Structure 1
Amino acid sequence: MTNQSGKKHSHWWQHKSWDEIVEHAKKCDIAIIPLGSIEQHGYHLPTGHDTLQLFPMLEEIAERTGAMLLPCPWYGAHPHHHHNFPGTVPLSNDTCRAMIKDIVRGVSLAGYNKFILFFGHGQAFVTNYTVQELGQEGYYVLSVMFQNSVRDVHHDIFEDPFWHADEAETSIALHLFPEYVDMSRAVKELATPLLDRQFVTGPTQEKSCKPLRFDEGTVSAPEYKDLKAGVVGDPTKATAEKGEKYVKVIVDRMVDLVNHIKEKYPAGVKIETN
């Protein structure tokens, strides 16, 4: 879709002039920061999986809410057990934290007062403390790992829990970017836990009184030593239909969140955090 001047319509910050960005904030001052990662996802999925999945979801969210979409950094922070596997390019925790802070500080100068970090890669161990520090600086920032928003429906859609390059992630890929998926190379593989699962809550486990979350300790063996293909789960169970159902719930619930913020705190209203 284009406007009268022939310029293509876009919800992305990088496609707009600075004055268009400022004018947009007067109507909607919510900016969504996608956080991606470059990470091995087995033989059958691209290393950019966790980043590629964000774009179509966010474009629908922005179309339905008017939120501004910020440029997506393709790299992210990683739990210790992801490191050293070929294809994975991790940022240090401090680098990721500093990047998020600099993005929020810069974007706020254009009139944006509410920020949402949006990601499906396990880096909440960095974002959770980063948003607390930004709150101390006076910024309103939410950290959303999308798996948290769909734990109640995950097992209505998938047979297995959400892990890595598995049924769920492969289904998302088959739905959103099948051109980069090679199902002939999909293999089932399991990781070696360092603690029994009775003590560790997985990313999509709805109800749990277990002492640890999957990213709250050294609970998994290093993948580069433990796995041959780099898969945790069974991607052969994946289908595009499952991915479509899953993505729809994620998008709908993000739309609800953004619209709630818009109604509760209209454009121009700065939320006091310090």
Structure 2
Amino acid sequence: MYDLHHMTWQEVAKAVESGIQTAVLPVGATEQHGPHLGCGMDTSIAHTLCHDAAAQSPVILLPTLPYGCSIGHSKRWPGTMALSPKTLIDVICDIGDWVQSAGIRRLVLVNGHVTNEAPLRCGLEMLRAKHDGFMVAVANTAQLSVRVKKAHFDDADDWHANDAETALMMALHPEMVREDKLTEADDPDRTETCVFSHPVNRTSTNGVTGKPSEANKNKGQQLYSWMLADLTELLHKAAIEEAPINQSYHQSVLFGDTNP
């Protein structure tokens, strides 16, 4: 396994020279997850999933980013430590610059928190425009496949700290679950008819949306097995992908591009 956290610069260089030219960046968040889950839940799932998938894939695992765009959770419940969307974009662009400078040609951003997606997509757009031929992808842990998405959305569309997330933590990190709080944690999705996207303090009474009381370890183990298989398959595909057409980003057909 190529884990950058433990590798020397010589080992990184050797891996890249040998053809390992894909990096994986787990992106989590630090935010309230109701009365029953630890604030590092998103980061723990992203880290564990990427570590296990990278162990089976020809990729370099980057250290997990534990902060994300969680400003929608408000300051009502202590524990949330959020980056602004602009800050997260800058962080991703800075990391991407260094990844590209190491000779790595592909970067997969594995997102463990829903509202990181827009800043991550902006970072993707900026990096591929800056570095011609540098490939960047965003993969959301809760939507890696149809089966994974269905499990996450079963008890709420605007879900948070719900059945799926609680079950995953029971299976992966039970020390972060307060099982004595589960019966009081359920809170319904109130957003079905909303036009606007409201912050969590205006949609939930306790920071939860969904039914964590229905979670159990077996559900979590099944869901995680799907997520691991689906992400591992994605990383294997990413590690060999080339652009459909090899044409310069910066060279216009008006100025001598020989491959219009």
TM-score range, shorter chain: 0.7 to 0.9
Over the matched positions of the two proteins, sequence identity in percent amounts to 26
Alpha-carbon spacing, 1:183–1:18, altered in 2? closer, same or farther (3 Å): same
CA RMSD of aligned residues (A): 2.3
Corresponding residue of 2:187: 189
Please give the residue correspondences for 1:24-173 in structure 2 after superposition, counting only pairs within 5 Å: 24-26=15-17, 27-78=19-70, 81-84=72-75, 85-122=77-114, 123-138=116-131, 139-155=134-150, 159-161=154-156, 163-173=159-169
The offset of 1:273, in angstroms, is 5.6
1:178 aligns with 2:199: no
Alpha-carbon spacing, 1:251–1:23, altered in 2? closer, same or farther (3 Å): same
Write the letter of the residue equivalent to 1:150. S
Alpha-carbon spacing, 1:155–1:81, altered in 2? closer, same or farther (3 Å): same
1:208-262 CA deviation, whole Å, 9 max, x = no partner?
xxxxxxxxxx423x32355342111110101111111112222212221221233
Corresponding residue of 1:21: 12
1:106-138 CA deviation, whole Å, 9 max, x = no partner?
122222110000012011111112211111112
SS of 2:63's equivalent? coil
Task: Give the TM-score, by structure 2 length.
Answer: 0.83
The offset of 1:154, in angstroms, is 4.3
- Cα distance in 1 for partners of 2:142, 2:16 equals 29
Is the contact made by 1:140 and 1:273 (CA closer than 8 Å) also made in structure 2?
Answer: no
1:18-51 CA deviation, whole Å, 9 max, x = no partner?
1111111123110001111001001110000000
Task: Give the TM-score, by structure 1 length.
Answer: 0.79
- Cα distance in 1 for partners of 2:209, 2:74 equals 15
Pairs aligned (count): 239
Write the letter of the residue equivalent to 1:126. P
The offset of 1:59, in angstroms, is 1.8
- Cα distance in 2 for partners of 1:81, 1:118 equals 20
SS of 1:91's equivalent? coil
Is the contact made by 2:30 and 2:66 (CA closer than 8 Å) also made in structure 1?
Answer: yes
Alpha-carbon spacing, 1:174–1:73, altered in 2? closer, same or farther (3 Å): same
Is the contact made by 1:39 and 1:47 (CA closer than 8 Å) also made in structure 2?
Answer: yes
SS of 2:65's equivalent? coil
SS of 2:66's equivalent? coil
SS of 1:128's equivalent? helix
